[in-house]
Amino acid sequence: MCSKTECFTLKEKQRFQLRNPPMPDELKKRGVQQEENTRRWRDSRRRLLKIMGVAGAAALAAPLAPGLLTRVAGAPPEAPQGQDAGSGGEGESTQRLRRWAMVIDLRRCDGCQSTGKPPQCTQGCIEGHLVPEPMQWIQVFEYEVPGGGTQFVPVPCQQCQSPPCVNVCPVGATWSTPEGPVLIDQQRCIGCRSCMAACPYDRRFFTWGKPPAPPETLLADYRPEREYPLPRGVTVKCTFCADMARAGRLPYCAQGCPQHAIYYGDLEEDLATNGEEVVELSSFLSQNQAYRLKAELNTKPRVYYLPGHGEAVGRDAYTKGRMDTRWPWVERVKGAKTWSRSGPSQ
Partner 1 sequence: MEPVGPVAVAEYRERLEKRVLAPLTSTGKGYYLLVAALLAVVGWGAYAYFTQLREGLIVTAMRDRISWGLYITLFVFFIGISHAGTLISAILRVSKAGWRVPVTRMAEFITVVALSVGALMPLIDMGRPDRLQNLILFGRWQSPLIWDILAITTYLTGSILYLYLPLIPDLALARDRLSDVVAPWKRGFYRILSVGWIGTDNQKRYLVIAMTLMMLVIIPVAVSVHTVVSWIFGMTLREPWNNPMFGAFFVAGAIYSGIATIVIVMALLRKVYHLEEYITPQHFINLGYMLAGFALIMIYFNLLEFVTTGYKLAGEGEMHFRELFTGSLAPVFWFYTLGGMVLPALIIVVPWTRSILGVVVASVFVDIGMWMERYFIVVGGLRLPTMPYEPATYFPSWVEWSIMAGAFAGFCLIIAVVVKVLPIISVWEVAEHYEDEKVIARKDAEGVLAGRLVAQHPSSRPFERSREVERP
Footprint of ligand SF4 (CB under 6 A): 157-160, 163-165, 168-171, 173-174, 182, 184, 189-195, 199, 201, 203-204, 235, 237, 299
- Considering only residues 108, 226, 232, 315, which one is a binding residue for partner 1 as defined by CB under 8 A? 232
d(Cα 47, Cα 90) in Å, to the nearest integer? 13
d(Cα 152, Cα 140) in Å, to the nearest integer? 6
Angle at the Cα of 333 from the Cα atoms of 330 and 337, rounded to 5 degrees: 85
Task: Assess 57 for contact with partner 1 (CB under 8 A).
Answer: no
29 or 294: whose CB is closer to partner 1?
294
- Our measurement of the distance from residue 281's CA atom to the centroid of its chain's CA atoms, rounded to an integer in Å, reads 19
Q: Are 174 and 189 in contact (CB under 8 A)?
A: yes
Q: Which of 100, 86, 130 is nearest to 304 (CA)?
A: 100
Q: Which of 97, 143, 141 is nearest to 119 (CA)?
A: 141
- Considering only residues 7, 59, 60, 190, which one is a binding residue for partner 1 as defined by CB under 8 A? 190
Q: Are 337 and 212 in contact (CB under 8 A)?
A: yes
Binding site partner of 103, from ligand SF4, partner 1, none, Cβ cut-off 5-8 A by kind: none
Q: Which of 246, 327, 287 is nearest to 103 (CA)?
A: 287
Binding site partner of 101, from ligand SF4, partner 1, none, Cβ cut-off 5-8 A by kind: none
Minimum distance, C-beta of residue 320 to partner 1, in the bound complex (Å): 12
β-pair partners for 266? 100, 271
Q: Are 253 and 122 in contact (CB under 8 A)?
A: yes
What contacts 230, CB < 8 A, 6 or more positions away? Answer: 132, 186, 207, 211, 213, 217, 236
Binding site partner of 297, from ligand SF4, partner 1, none, Cβ cut-off 5-8 A by kind: partner 1
Write out the binding residues for partner 1, residues 274-333 only, by CB under 8 A: 297, 299
Minimum distance, C-beta of residue 339 to partner 1, in the bound complex (Å): 6
What contacts 314, CB < 8 A, 6 or more positions away? Answer: 110, 114
DSSP 211: P
163 or 214: whose CB is closer to ligand SF4?
163
Site size for partner 1 (CB under 8 A): 52
173 or 250: whose CB is closer to partner 1?
173
**Among 12-20, 192-200, 238-246, 312-320, which window interacts with partner 1 (CB under 8 A)?**
192-200
Angle at the Cα of 202 from the Cα atoms of 70 and 34, rounded to 5 degrees: 60
**Among 140-148, 264-272, 277-285, 315-323, which window interacts with partner 1 (CB under 8 A)?**
140-148
Task: Assess 145 for contact with partner 1 (CB under 8 A).
Answer: no
Task: Assess 345 for contact with partner 1 (CB under 8 A).
Answer: yes
- Considering only residues 27, 54, 55, 198, which one is a binding residue for partner 1 as defined by CB under 8 A? 198
144 or 221: whose CB is closer to partner 1?
144
What is the C-alpha R_g of the chain? 20
Binding site partner of 210, from ligand SF4, partner 1, none, Cβ cut-off 5-8 A by kind: partner 1
Peptide bond into 146 cis (omega under 30): no
- Considering only residues 21, 75, 143, 320, which one is a binding residue for partner 1 as defined by CB under 8 A? 143
- Where does this chain bind partner 1 (CB under 8 A)? 1-3, 141-144, 155, 164, 167-173, 188-194, 196-202, 204-210, 231-234, 297, 299, 337, 339-346
